Amino acid sequence: MSRATRVAAAALLPLLLGACAQYLPWTTQPGPADIDRMVADDDYGEALAALQRIPADAPDAALLRAKRLQVRARAARYAAARLAAAGEQEQRGNWHRAEEILRDALKHDPGATDLKAMLRELQARRVRRERELERTMLIARGEWLSRVIPAREELRRIASFGLLDRLRLARLDWERRDVAKELLSAGSQALRDGQFEDARRCLTLSRKLEDTPPVQAALARLAARRDQELREEERARQRSREAELRRRETRLHDKVQEAIAEGDWHRAQVDLKRLMKLAPGNRELVTLKEALDEAVAARIRQLLDQGNGLYRRGHIRQAKDAWEAVLALDPNQPQAQANVKRAQRVLDKLRELKEQAPAKPPVPKPAGPTKPAP
């Protein structure tokens, strides 16, 4: 190595060491104190990125991994607070301030998906609101022209019109055509956005100001889209009705099964009848009704026998209750009808006999010992 080369190397060495020293903080791993400093400054993105680069064999790896969980929780809480603050500003109508809050929050945590989504939604809502306000002002201008121009035309016919008046009328006529084009554009945009009422107002007013083929075509598209929307709404209502019907069928089917499980045959009959009205062509319900009718018939025979036995033993009222239970299951059961009438006649006769029986005389109380006369 020549002397000149050694001199050049000696001159470059301090520069290289200085450059290395400049980038050294970025190559060394941060410690817990560095992470705490980042969190204190709300630099959650930087802190999480630094924690993500920690090697598995680092001295404080376990501690820093635990710190990562804390930083993520703090970052989520920070994002929630910023979202709430932006939402409050939006409610007040301070759209730009709300956007500033979200952009500033993203500088502190660029990876926060909630903040990014909120910013996109805020911008989309702001654009929609801007279009609504512009359409409102444009419609107001068009309505004003639709009233002023006919009044000016009539005034021209009934009064002397000078050059200045003719110029004003020509300017209004030019503005009428210009506003009609803007209304056509705004109505077409509202149609694309699915805002059919705004589209109708803009396009109708545009045709009123200047009836042109593009306006007529746009109105035809609006009518077609509106018809399609109405059909889709009707299909959605039909799907909702069908879903509700299925839910009702399921609830009634469960009630029928519950009543059968509890042996409440009358309730099972009533609910099954309602269920078959909802689904008249259901073969499964027909099979279930046949099985239920067979079970009810067996229960009716049991109740008839039970009532006959009670009647023979003189338990008239209990027998009548058993036969009335038969009529609850089958109101047209002839034997139960006859038995209930017979039991009622017996009960009426017993009540009459009880009412006609003489009242028993009161039992006299035994006289106590008499007191001796003084």
3-state secondary structure 158-178: HCCCCHHHHHHHHHHHHHHHH
131 and 87 within one domain: no
173 backbone dihedrals φ, ψ, rounded to 5°: -65, -40
pLDDT tens for the chain, residues 1 to 374:
455 555 444 454 444 444 444 443 434 566 677 777 887 888 888 778 777 777 767 676 677 777 777 788 888 888 889 899 999 999 998 989 999 999 988 888 888 888 889 999 999 999 888 888 998 999 999 999 999 988 888 888 887 777 888 888 889 899 999 999 999 999 999 998 888 899 999 999 999 999 999 999 999 999 999 899 889 999 999 999 989 988 988 898 898 889 888 888 888 888 888 888 888 888 888 888 888 888 888 888 888 899 899 988 988 899 889 888 888 888 888 988 899 998 888 888 888 888 776 656 665 655 555 554 44
Whole-number pLDDT of residue 36 = 77
In total, how many domains does the chain have?
A: 3
134 and 85 within one domain: no
Residue 363 lies in a domain: no
Residue 218 lies in a domain: yes
92 and 68 within one domain: yes
Residues near 165 by beta carbon (within 8 Å), at least 6 away in sequence: 156
103 and 133 within one domain: no
Angle, vertex CA 275, rays to CA 273 and CA 279, nearest 5:
115
Residue 184 lies in a domain: yes
223 and 134 within one domain: yes
Domain that holds residue 137: 127-239
Whole-number pLDDT of residue 6 = 52
Residue 154 lies in a domain: yes
CA quadruple 156, 162, 165, 171: dihedral sign: positive
Long-range contact set of residues 17-25: C-beta below 8 Å, sequence gap at least 24? none
CA quadruple 209, 211, 216, 218: dihedral sign: negative
Tokens of 286: 């027909």
Cβ proximity of 327 and 333 under 8 Å: yes
109 backbone dihedrals φ, ψ, rounded to 5°: -145, 80
- CA-CA distance, 9 to 79, in Å (whole number)? 52
160 and 77 within one domain: no
Q: SS3 letters for the chain?
A: CCHHHHHHHHHHHHHHHHHHHHHHHHHCCCCHHHHHHHHHCCCHHHHHHHHHCCCCCCCCHHHHHHHHHHHHHHHHHHHHHHHHHHHHHHHCCCHHHHHHHHHHHHHHCCCCHHHHHHHHHHHHHHHHHHHHHHHHHHHHHHHHHHHHHHHHHHHHHHCCCCHHHHHHHHHHHHHHHHHHHHHHHHHHHHHHCCCHHHHHHHHHHHHHHCCCHHHHHHHHHHHHHHHHHHHHHHHHHHHHHHHHHHHHHHHHHHHHHHHHHHCCHHHHHHHHHHHHHHCCCCHHHHHHHHHHHHHHHHHHHHHHHHHHHHHHCCCHHHHHHHHHHHHHHCCCCHHHHHHHHHHHHHHHHHHHHHHHCCCCCCCCCCCCCCCCCC
Count CB neighbours of 208 within 10 A: 16
225 and 190 within one domain: yes
Residue 29 lies in a domain: yes
Whole-number pLDDT of residue 213 = 95
161 and 79 within one domain: no
225 and 197 within one domain: yes
Which residue in this structure is represented by tokens 């021209």? 156
* pTM strictly above 0.85: no
What are the CA-CA distances from residue 215 to residues 116, 185, 221, 224 (Å)? 39, 9, 10, 14
Residue 368 lies in a domain: no
Which residue in this structure is represented by tokens 């001295």? 59
228 and 137 within one domain: yes
- CA-CA distance, 105 to 140, in Å (whole number)? 39
Whole-number pLDDT of residue 142 = 93
Residue 370 lies in a domain: no
97 and 30 within one domain: yes
Residue 343 lies in a domain: yes
Whole-number pLDDT of residue 211 = 92
Whole-number pLDDT of residue 50 = 75
Chain centroid to Cα 252, Å, comes to: 26
Which residue in this structure is represented by tokens 């817990």? 32
Chain centroid to Cα 364, Å, comes to: 82
The closest of 220, 217, 173, 182 to 202, measured between CA atoms, is 182
146 and 231 within one domain: yes
Report CA Rg, the chain: 46
HSE (CB half, 13 Å, CA atoms) of 162? Answer: 1
Tokens of 131: 């279009």
Whole-number pLDDT of residue 23 = 40
Which residue in this structure is represented by tokens 């009532």? 307
Cβ proximity of 300 and 333 under 8 Å: yes
